[in-house]
Structures are given as structure tokens and as C-alpha cells.
Amino acid sequence: MTEYEKMKAGLCYRFDAEILEKMYRGHELADAFNQTAARDGKTRTELLLKLLDAPEDICIEPPFHCDFGENIHVGHHFFANFGCIILDGADVTIGDRVLFGPNVSIYTAEHVTNAERRAAGDQFTRPVTIGDDTWIGGSAVILSGVTIGSRSVVAAGSVVVHDVPDDVLVAGNPARVIKKL
């Protein structure tokens, strides 16, 4: 297995030339997207379609940052406000009609807790999944391995460390269920 294949499989991996090359491609496309004029929707859409696995009916407001882009799978009518960050070493799957407030961050990457292994560069990833019709409030952070259910709401500023069921409002750090919707 290559280091990239290990990364995608959630196994312990270390950065190598292949991973860096794929990451540079993602960064370059995101940088180009972030430099587009506000009125140039056609160019923005073209760049997003090169960067992400997404339909044409999505809207992301710059700046947008990701590691690879190719591991981000987005459904129809997705909207992300300014300042979205998605570290997509593992797959990030976002359903239809999902809304992100400003500065939402998703992190699939983790470092090992053993200091010696961490110093040697060992790390791993876990996928993130967000169901249909979900709203993630501004400055929320979604950590690796989390699944957020359909029709749920993550309150602004929350840090989601555990799975979220369908049809609930979660808030806090760590996020917890506040009420059923």
C-alpha cells in the first residue's frame, strides 16, 4: 500500500512525495478559487468542480481551504459561508441541502498520542459524514470520525467530537444534544 492509500484507509501513515503532490494540487486550486472576483460565478464553479466531487449547484464563499479537495463529496444545494476549512485526508461526505455558517472547520486528520511516534511523523485519518438538510453554525468544529445525522443543527461555536443523531440540536464543547427537533 502507498502512504496515500494507507491515509485513505484510516491506517497509520507518513507524508511522502505522492501525498505532498496531491496536497499541492488541492492548495493551488483552492488558492485560485479564493482569488476569483465576486461576480465571476462561472470561474468559481469551474474551479470547485475541478477541486471537489460536487454538482454544479453548490455555493462556497471564499476563502475556502482544504488539503486535497478530491476527498470531499458534496450533495446538491450545498452552501458554505466565508472561511470554511476542510482537512480531507479521509473522505468528507456532505449531503444535500446542507448549510455551513462562516468559519466552519472539519478535521479528518489526527496525530498519534504517543510522543515518539508523533515525532516520527505517524498520523491517521477518519472520515466525516454530514446528513441531508443539516445546518452547521458559524465557527463550529467537526472532528475526525464523526457522523452528523440528517436534519440536525450544530449550534455556532460547538465542537463535535461524537456522532450526532438525526433531528437534534447540539451545542457546546463538547457538543451535546440540547433538544430533539
Work out the burial of residue 152: count CB atoms within 10 Å of its CB; fewer than 13 is exposed, 13-18 middle, 19 or more buried. Answer: buried
Cell of 68: 486535497
Cell of 92: 468528507
- Cα-to-chain-centroid distance, residue 85: 6
Active-site residue identified among 27, 73, 111, 162: 111
Whether 111 is a known active-site residue: answer yes
Cell of 177: 444534544
State the Cα–Cα distance between residues 3 and 154, nearest whole angstrom: 33
Q: Which residue has the cell 451545542?
A: 171
**Residues catalogued as catalytic:** 111
